[in-house]
Structure 1
Amino acid sequence: MKKSTQISGLPIISILDGNQVGKVKSLVINPDKGSVDFLTIEHEDFQVSVKAIPFKKVVGIGEYAVTVGSESAVIDLNEIPIANQLVNKKIKITGTKVMTRKGELIGEVVEYFVDQESGNILGMQLKLADKEVALSSESVVTFGKDIIIVKEDATSYFLNSVEELEGKSDSAELAEELVATETATLEEDEEVKSLKEKQIELLAGKKLSKDIYDKDGNLLFGEGTYLTAEQIQKAQDEGPSIVVELSMNVEA
């Protein structure tokens, strides 16, 4: 689970070549699904059109960066009508008033929280008259530009801690995601296989300019090592962050 503010501003790194393709400029909300569908990109070369990355193309969201498979994940929003429509809706959530279906004003959103795997909005942190509480997205009826509408009994489901938002996902939604995941597994496996092959092709024979360590601090490859296909595969098994480290620390 990530705060929206923990995602905004993060560098976006291509795992394939270790290049930074830009920074996260904004999170594009799909109000019908209650999810973040795209991350728009801030880059000095992207002045004419708006570029973005579909959330489903995000490999991971870490403390220091968002990773994608390659720069091919970047799309031009002007070429994707649905994505462009979502951007133009300008749903921001933070700072938006929260009201019940019967018109009772509850409070204002201070922050919202995103499932970093699926992009689903798990819930919000609300500022009330006398305190702050958390509320799961299960209570939301409408994510609007000016007002977020929630169920009449939403106040009965206030949570004392935002950490409680994790694990509050609706079971039907989880079942739907499971079916979609199973359907896409073969296609994703082929994409991953192709990406790994490109990484090996790009890095094999390159000389490391610094020591590379695994997540536990153990030395994987020493400075001066000429990378082999087997070593690159070992790095891939360690995870995307290790491959990014390799890509950014080889001599041309």
Structure 2
Amino acid sequence: MKKSKEIIGLPIISISDGTEAGKVKTVIINAEKGAIDYVVVDKGIQILSAKVIPVRYVLGIGEYALTIENEDAVSDISKIPEAIELLQKNIQVSGTKVLTKKGRLIGEIGDIYVNEDDNCSITGLEFIADITQKNIRIIPRDSVITFGKNLVVVRDDVEAALLDSAAQINGFCENAAQGSGEETGNISGEDKNASGAVSDMMEMKHREYLNGKTTTKTIYDEDGSILIEENTLIDDEIFEIAKEYGKVVELVMNNR
């Protein structure tokens, strides 16, 4: 689960050659789908002549980088009418006011939460109920009716559905899926299988790229202990260690 502000600014790394293709300038939201459809690449050029990456070509979004297979994933926005149309709609979500279906203005959105493993679908909205920003909670995606340019419209009973932490988003989504009936359960199963296939493909490509290379920096775990030392030959054992601790993208960025 990622906030949009954790994605914007990330280096974009091509895993085929280990080079940086740019940085994430911003994201383009598809309001109808409730998802990020495109990533805008920052190469120091004007937005209307910008390069974009469809999220279907994104292999992974980690703490240190967004990864793609190669620079073929980067396209000129002028060649993608759908991206231009979404850009012109300028759906930001972050910073917009929150309006209930019956017309109560109850706060504003601080940021969005997206599931980077599910085509960057929006899973929750950071909800700020007062201007002091001391009372921040999360609106689950299921409570959102409309993503508008200036307003996010939510269900009238949204206050009862508010979550206290990002960790609760996954549990909320799982419970909703379990209670949605047999037909929805079948669809969710298919989506889960598809998501698993994409994850397996990403892992295979990362593993193939890294095999036989050498680390160029020491990688630490969350407690500051050495996980993989500099100048370590990357093999399957080292890859599995990086995978276990969520450090694969860091390996991709620091090798030769």
TM-score (norm 2): 0.75
Q: Is the 8 A contact 1:235 1:243 kept in 2?
A: no
RMSD (CA atoms): 3.4
Assess, with a 3 A threshold, how the Cα gap between structure 1 residues 234 and 27 changes in structure 2: closer, same or farther.
Answer: same
Equivalents in 2 of 1:209, 1:133: separation in Å? Answer: 40
Q: Structure 1 CA distance, aligned partners of 2:140 and 2:193?
A: 27
Counterpart of 1:144 in structure 2 is: 148
Q: Higher RCO, 1 or 2 (CA under 8 Å, sep at least 6)?
A: 1
- CA change 1:46–1:235 in 2 (3 A) is farther
Task: Figure out how many residues of one structure are paired with residues of the other and give that number.
Answer: 236
Sort the Cα spacing of 1:188 and 1:99 in 2 relative to 1 into closer, same or farther, 3 A.
Answer: closer
Give the conservation status (yes or no) of the 8 Å contact 2:216–2:230.
no
CA offset digits 1:21-55 (Å, max 9, x no partner): 11111111111111112111101367772211122
* 1:68 Cα offset (Å): 1.6
**Counterpart amino acid of residue 44 in structure 2:** E
Q: Percent identity?
A: 32
Q: Distance in 2 between matches of 1:139 and 1:187?
A: 28
Change over 3 Å in CA distance of 1:150–1:209 after alignment to 2: closer
Change (3 A) 1:55 1:176: farther
Give, in angstroms, the shift of residue 241 of structure 1: 2.7
- Determine if the alignment matches structure 1 residue 126 to structure 2 residue 136: no
Cα distance between partner residues in 2 of 1:29 and 1:123: 14
Which amino acid in the other structure matches residue 22 of structure 2?
G
Quote the residue 2:23 is aligned against. Answer: 23
Deviates more, 1:128-137 or 1:10-19: 128-137
Within 5 Å, which residues of 2 pair with 1:225-244? 240-241=248-249, 244=252
Consecutive unaligned residues of structure 1, counting only runs of 5 or more, are 226-230
Match 1:168 to one of 172, 191, 214: 172
Question: Contact 1:214–1:242 at 8 Å: present in 2 too?
Answer: no
- Which range moves more in the overlay, 156-165 or 79-88? 156-165
Residue 160 (structure 2) aligns with: 156
Structure 1 CA distance for aligned equivalents of residues 8 and 122 of structure 2: 15
SS in 2 for 1:167: helix
* Equivalent-residue separation in structure 2 for 1:64 and 1:188 (angstroms): 18
Distance 1:109 1:56, change over 3 A: same
Write the distance in 2 (CA, Å) between the matches of 1:53 and 1:83.
10
* SS of match in other structure, 1:217: strand
Does the 8 A contact of 1:28 with 1:86 survive in 2? yes
TM-score by length of 1: 0.76
Match of 1:77 in 2: 77
**Contact 1:18 1:244 (8 Å CA) reproduced:** yes
Partners of 1:69 and 1:134 lie apart in 2 by: 33
